[in-house]
Amino acid sequence: TFRRPAANSPDLTVLGFYSDPRFRVLQAFLDPDSPPFVVCYDSSAGKHLVSVLLLATPQDIPSHTHISTPSHSRTRQTPVRVLSSSDPTPNNAHITPVPSIIQCVGPQAHAPRPSPVSIKGGCVAIKAGSGRSPFVSRVPTPQSGGTRMRSSKSLSPPHLARISPFSQTVNSQSWSTFYSEESLGQCYDALVPQRCLHLVWQEPGDPDYRSSFVPATSVFLTTDVLGKSYIAFLFTSQVWLLEYIRAQDGSYVCGSIHPLPALQAIPLEDLSMILILQQNNHLGLFTGTHKVSDVDMTPLLLGPSEYGEGTPGSVVKLRDTIDSSFSVVLSTGGMVRCSVPLLHRHPSVSLCVQALKLALPTDVFLAMVSSYYVSSHMLITSDLLLHFVQWMSSCVPLSSSQPHASNDSSSSNRKDCIRPVDLDAVPALKFFVMQHGQAMGHTQLEVTPSLGLAFLLQYACTILSVLHLVYEELKLSVLLTGDCESLAKLLHRYASWLGWSLYCDHYQRDFPSLYLTEYQVLDSGESSSMEGGVFTHTLFSHSTPPHIMAWLQKLLSRGKVEPFPVLLPVTRRTLQLIKVFALYSIPPHTMVPPLSDLVQFLGPLGAPLDKPFNQLQDKVTSPYERVILCLAEEEISLSELETFPVSLCLPIWDCVAHCHQNPPSSWPSNAYDIIGRNDIAKSLSSEVTKPTLKMECPHDQDDGMDIHMEVLGCRFPKDLRVNEVRRMLQSSKPVRVVVMQKPETSDHEFIEQQETHLLAICQRTMSLPVGRGMFTMATTQPLPTAALVIPKLNLTGRAPPRNATIGQDHIEKPSDMQQWPQFHNGVAAGLKITPCISEMDSTWIVFNRPISDQACNEYAGFLLALGLNGHLTKLSSFDIYEHLQEKHDLTVVSLLLGISAARVGTMSPTLTSLLALYLPPLLPHGSADMEISRVMQTAAMMGIGFLYSGSGHRRMVEVMLNEIACEPGPDLEQAKDRECYALCAGLSLGMIVLGQGRSSVALLDLNIEDRLCMLMNGGLRRQPCTTSAASSCGQSHLILEREVVNTHVTSPGAILALGLMYLKTNDSNIAAKLDVPATQFGLDFVRPDFLLLRALSHGLVMWDHVMPTQEWIHGHIPPFILENASGGGGGTDMTPGLDYQSLRQAYLSIVAGCCMAMGLRFVGTCNQAAFQCLLANMKMMLSLLSAAEQVGKVTLEMCLTTTLLGLSLVMCGSGDLAVIRIIRRLRTRMASAEVNYGSHMATHMALGLLFLGGGRYSMGRHNRAIAALVCSLYPVFPASSNDNRGHLQALRHLYVMAAEPRVLVARDARTTRVCPVEVCVTGLQGEVQIVTTPCLLPEWETIHKNHCPWWCVPDASHSRAAVYCSPVPLVSVVLPSPWQRCSVTGFYFQSKILAYRVSG
């Protein structure tokens, strides 16, 4: 966009988009460290233009954004007159007129098109003037005369209507017609500019400074040693240096042009110089317009054969400049890489040079720099400071016989050699430099070899004054204190020659060896001649030499001090310490004197703004806080404080000690860093640093276990148990199949044996995703732009030694064998997603939807995982309908369970209507029969239980009671998986009345306890208690049950429903109904697995009476079972008529049920008594594996896995090695009739519980968590991968509803790394537990809340800290949002930072 004010009205502007090939961009400086200059060349006017690329302001954006085809004739189009370069400039003669940049529309063009330059996806506009630059030209009105505009044929409306706004433009030599903003606003849609080019300079019309209508071959930015900035334009025979400055308002102003003869020119950024190639192969070093030295090219052009072929040549080009190195291209075809030495490479020398630059006149300083740069590289010495001192001392005579001797006077007739670094391993290229002190185009002091450095004598007072301030500055740094002696020798020589006895005494006191040195003293005649110098002895306000140490000591004693001289930015440390000591020495509630009373500012920069210093003393009354805030204002870090002398740091450390304990909460973040409390800074910061959960692991990344190992590595640093768990849970690699081929076995039979063996191993492989989902739960934050990677479930094998691939093509196997394992694999992948992600929406969920039908099972499991994580609520209703329309069983099951779990306890009417569509008992009478599979009905049944959890809803209770005793029905589909359906009806009933017992008055008339007891023990079937629902029950033509309740179907659901209904009620009457039969006769009517469920439900009811002892377990076993369970081995003590195998099965089942109840009672507590009790029973059952026939293999396997799950529940998240060894032993067993798919699933679920959520999670013990664990860890596991007869496999993942983040992590405040800290946790009963972080805390409700006088952050009302750490004090802090763990020194517990350690 090109804008300029219209001459006829100050409020109207002329606006137009341009795309003109006349304007060529020569260089655009878009580096963040450089000014945003864009240099263009106008080929028609033959001028260069410099613009600044800035963000477009509202004044730069056109008011009309929509442009339509004009319907009026071409006479309505208003031509816009634009000032050309030949027009006179009104009102300001020295301002260069701005040429037209608006695109003209010629006869071959169709329409003016916007052609913005694309910068980071935005549009670029060009703006001239607009009040920001002094180079603004006014556009005269058409009536006032001016340059005549050429007109062209206008386009007819039909022709104009076919034009694209992005059509190509016409040649710039065509006739032109300009459209005003009004006419353009009715043509086409315009691009709104985001960047705007503001014209700041254009090439003048003076013939002495014209580029002969040739664009510059190169444009670059450079600075000189004085700090002036230039834009360099390189032409064929000269280089222009255009000086520019930046004003206080941020705008740029360009000055005059300084031409220099040059064939080639490159900038040397590290030297602040330019290397220029002139005629006759002369190289010159320039700093701005001042020539520093010549470079003799003779060795390069007539050198040995490695520079060419030994024939005379010339320098063709200088290129590839980086810092102080560059490449020289020779006419012989060779190229040499060279590096120019730096000006000053010593920090003390750099300070001295900066001080002299501020004090000396410009011409004197440039002459001095030229001489020093040549001399500093003539001598080969390692001590650069010593050389600088000797060089500066050469202008002071040693005795009266040598009035103005100079050490370098003898060098006037020789060439001094500079040896640059050869970067290309070519022979060293030697630069022969001649001293030169004459600047181009300026009248400056001419330095000749005969004068040497004598010209500096008249500025001896100034040199001594400023270098003395540098000398005092060096005392304030322990890194540069060693340089003071060398600089003191130089200053002592100057002071002796000037006759300043106080200064001589000052240096002699610091270094007594200077007493033995004698120098010539300036006589009276020379002293009178020095009075005309620029600076005199009265440079400072006091006659005594400034002494920073004595001055600060006097300030601390609250004596009257004179302003101390400061030369900014050289003596920055001096000013900082003056501020600090001034604030420290003033008593509280006392005003600090103005900074001008303490400091005398010297140099051209003058006094800095002391507004923050004045505000500091008004707002803060404590001197300690004033000092800390002053250090923060000066941006002094702890590492920089360590470089100050110890004596000067003592007041600062005193302030740190006072403010460290209880700092205010309104400080800036760097102030907390100074006092060592950057933990507070990070906790108060609005930008919360989220930990990176994913980490590159040494294992393959496609195994689905690429989790963060930082916490696990710190929790288990002494062994490789985590790697062993990863190995046991990985299912993406082929398994190793080792089968020995017997001589009599044919190859075909051997292949079948291998595949049969592989099929047995695959039973274990297919069960791995359930345990892997526990291990990797909530450990990944996927990108919203990438699909979630689901690891492959590999069911192939490798046969050693050739690793031949083995499949399952030659044996019979179930067609749907991989259906549910793939479902579990998708659930495990989805559970990796953390619940704290807010970017996940319905679009991302649908984005992961597979195209092929083969991945539908995994996607169904992915949906269930999203529901358990709470993300499925973001799925839109339309997308839910699209998924349900597929009528894919597993997808429907996942949606019904996932949405219900995500909205547990809400009793949503909308979701109830959705679930009723898949549950016929909830449909009204007369509803059309729908073909709904039993697995869908079961999922809908459990969804009702989640949705109405704890509500005691009467209607749903009636429906569930009826469905537990539902008859098989006339359809064969209704008879399929009846046990699973009845079990889910009982679990759903138990969740609806969870823990209510007899407290619900509205349900008393239903006699729920009696009906459940009848369904548990057997009896006559009762009629449904309500007829409002269309029951799915009916008479079956295949199954004859008559009017008697089939307890094999109804008993599991009734037992668990009764246990959940009276959960934690300690009702002894209900517990008595769950007791094991005390006689052999009664025991014959109860299956062993029902005995296990009865013992489990008994423990749920009598929750507070569950004890972690063996006596409590034996208290549930009838005496006759205890007495005879160990008999029956064939001895003489056998009692006739007793079934010893049944007694042993009953004994093991009761023990397993009690172990599961004990595991639920002490879940996640790592109670050692419970652990030892469960471990003893586990070892007892393991010892029976050798005599499994006497017990019953199926029963023993069920009891073994149940006890293992109870043991893992107690040690949940602990990663206990003893349990891992047991699991590793059990998983090595081959699959058989009793060691089947379900046994391996239980084993790997136990392994996943030990490392739940990557060692960050544990299980809760509230009612809903216990109910979820009962549903998930139901003791009856499937016999095969497609078995859902006794329990719905999708319910195995409901443990997520009971999982809680319990990890306590201590992070270092400086490095944010996990660090071990001993923590003492006090329980409600006073029990004390000492743990080392990272660790898992017990339940929040079991921790004692203490109200210690801790320092708290502003939101102290949520202070519930209960962790004591001695001797390190703790503070309480609240995390801004759930699941976000800041990188601070803190203890993270669930969604809050519990407490964190004070660093330092």
Least confident of 51-60, 1200-1209, 1350-1359: 1350-1359
What's the pLDDT score for residue 109? 34
Distance CA 369, CA 273 (A): 12
Of 259-268, 1024-1033, 1137-1146, which range is least confident? 1024-1033
Instruction: Give me the mean pLDDT over the 25-40 stretch.
Output: 87
Nearest CA-CA partner of 197 in 129, 104, 250, 248: 129
Specify the pLDDT at position 359: 85
Asked whether the predicted pLDDT for residue 454 surpasses 80, the reply is: no
> Phi, psi (5° rounding) for residue 1387?
-105, 120
1395 pLDDT more than 50: no
Q: Cis omega before residue 1367 (within 30°)?
A: yes
pLDDT of residue 1060 exceeding 80? yes
Q: Give CA 299 to chain center in angstroms.
A: 55
Rg (CA), the chain: 45
The answer to whether 420 and 338 have CB atoms below 8 angstroms apart is yes
Cα distances (angstroms) measured from residue 169 to each of 218, 363, 667, 1343:
28, 53, 59, 77
Range 329-353 average pLDDT: 82
Report the distance separating Cα 1113 and Cα 1166, nearest Å. Answer: 19
Which residues are registered as beta bridge partners of 1044? Answer: 1020
User: Average pLDDT, stretch 652-675?
Assistant: 86
Yes or no: say if 617 and 588 are a contact pair by the CB < 8 Å rule: no
Tens digit of pLDDT for each residue in 288-298?
Answer: 888 888 776 66
Query: What pLDDT score was predicted for residue 88?
Result: 35
Between 195 and 129, residue with greater pLDDT? 195
Per the CB < 8 A criterion, the answer to whether 477 and 499 are in contact is no
- Which DSSP state fits 166? T
Up-side HSE of residue 350: CA atoms within 13 Å toward CB?
9
> CA 824 → CA 550, 724, 769, 857, 1186, distances in Å?
78, 22, 6, 9, 33
Q: Does residue 380 have a pLDDT over 70? A: no
Mean pLDDT in residue range 316-327: 83
Most confident of 469-483, 697-711, 1364-1378: 469-483
- What are the tens digits of pLDDT across the range 1069-1112? 999 999 999 888 888 889 999 999 999 999 999 999 999 999 99
In order of 793, 1113, 1121, 1180, the CA distances from 1195 in angstroms are: 30, 18, 16, 14
Confidence grade of residue 299 (pLDDT, cut at 50, 70, 90): low
The per-residue pLDDT for 1103 is 95
- pLDDT value for 1221: 95
pLDDT score for 1377: 32
Residue 328 pairs in a beta bridge with 318, 336
| SS3 label, residue 953 | coil
pLDDT at position 278 is 83
Q: Are 766 and 1282 in contact (CB under 8 A)?
A: no
Q: Tell how strand 797-799 and strand 13-14 pair up.
A: unpaired
Residues 6+ apart with CB under 8 A from 338: 325, 326, 327, 328, 420, 421, 422, 423, 429, 431
Q: Are 266 and 275 contacting, i.e. CB atoms less than 8 angstroms apart?
A: yes
- Cα–Cα dist 292/257, whole Å: 20
Instruction: Decide which of 1366 and 1194 is more confident.
Output: 1194
Residue 460's closest CA among 356, 353, 569, 343?
Answer: 356
* Exposure string over 160-185, b if 16+ CB within 10 A, otherwise e: beebebeeebbeeebebbbbbbebbb
Q: What is the mean pLDDT of residues 158-167?
A: 33
Average pLDDT of span 1366-1384 = 31
CA pair distance 860, 846, nearest whole angstrom:
12
Phi/psi at 667 (nearest 5 deg)?
Answer: -75, 155
Contact 1060, 1052 (CB under 8 A): no
pLDDT digits (tens, 9 = 90+) for 360-378: 888 888 888 888 877 776 6
Rounded to an integer, the average pLDDT of 314-336 is 82
Q: Between residues 1183 and 451, which one has the greater pLDDT?
A: 1183
Model confidence pLDDT, tens digit, residues 387-438: 788 888 776 665 433 333 333 333 333 333 333 333 333 222 233 232 233 3
The full 3-state SS of 445-479, as one line of letters, equals CCCCCCCCCHHHHHHHHHHHHHHHHHHHHHCCCCC
Q: What distance in Å separates the CA atoms of residue 1099 and residue 1058, rounded to the nearest whole number?
A: 12
672 confidence band (pLDDT: 50, 70, 90): confident
CB 565: neighbour CB atoms within 10 A?
Answer: 22
Q: Hey, what are 727's tokens?
A: 């190995």
CB contact set of 726 (below 8 Å; sequence gap of 6+): 699, 703, 705
Q: What is the C-alpha to C-alpha distance for residues 946 and 901, in angstroms, rounded to an integer? A: 6
Q: Write the DSSP assignment of 865-911 as a string of letters.
A: HHHHHT-GGGS-HHHHHHHHHT--HHHHHHHHHHHHHHTTT---HHH
The two three-digit tokens of residue 667, written as one number: 């400080």
CB atoms inside a 10 Å sphere around CB 515: 13
* Stretch among 470-474, 780-784, 1270-1274 having the lowest mean pLDDT: 780-784
Please give the pLDDT value at position 1033. Answer: 53
Tell me, what's the pLDDT at 22?
Answer: 79
pTM higher than 0.75 for the full model?
Answer: no
Q: Residue 328 corresponds to which amino acid? A: V
More confident residue, 1116 or 1382: 1116
Strand partners, 284: 276, 294
Give me the half-sphere count of Cα atoms (radius 13 Å) on the Cβ side of residue 28: 10
- The yes-or-no verdict on residue 1169 having pLDDT over 80 is yes
SS3 280: helix
pLDDT, one tens digit per residue, over 82-131 is 333 333 333 333 333 333 333 333 333 333 333 333 333 333 444 443 33
Rounded average pLDDT over 1049-1063: 95
Question: Do residues 355 and 392 touch, judged by C-beta distance below 8 A?
Answer: no
Q: Which residue has the tokens 């959520």?
A: 1253
Select the more confidently predicted residue: 326 or 1366. Answer: 326
Measured between alpha carbons, how far apart are the two ends of the chain, in Å? 57
Residues with Cβ within 8 Å of residue 149, at least 6 apart in sequence: 79, 81, 82, 176, 178
- What is the rounded distance in angstroms from the CA atom of residue 466 to the CA atom of residue 461? 9
Tens of pLDDT, residue by residue over 1240-1285, are 999 999 999 999 999 999 999 999 999 999 999 999 999 999 999 9
How many Å separate Cα 45 from the centre of its chain? 52
Over range 780-784, report the average pLDDT: 85
What integer pLDDT is reported at residue 315 of this predicted model?
82
Would you state the structure tokens that stand for residue 613, as one six-digit string? 């210093």
What does pLDDT average to over the chain?
Answer: 75
* Distance from C-alpha of 180 to C-alpha of 86, rounded to nearest angstrom: 22
Nearest to 493 by CA among 371, 397, 404, 409: 397
Confidence at residue 1372, expressed as pLDDT on a 0 to 100 scale? 30
Per-residue pLDDT of 63-79, as tens digits, reads 654 433 333 333 333 33
The model's pLDDT over 595-623, given as tens digits with 9 standing for 90+, comes to 888 888 886 655 555 545 555 555 677 88
- The shares of helix, strand and coil residues in the chain, as percent rounded to the nearest 5, are 40, 15, 45
8 A C-beta contact, residue 194 and residue 122: yes
Q: Residue 1015: its pLDDT value, please?
A: 93
Query: Is 10 within 8 Å of 25 (Cβ atoms)?
Result: no
Give the C-alpha separation, 150 to 174, whole Å. Answer: 10
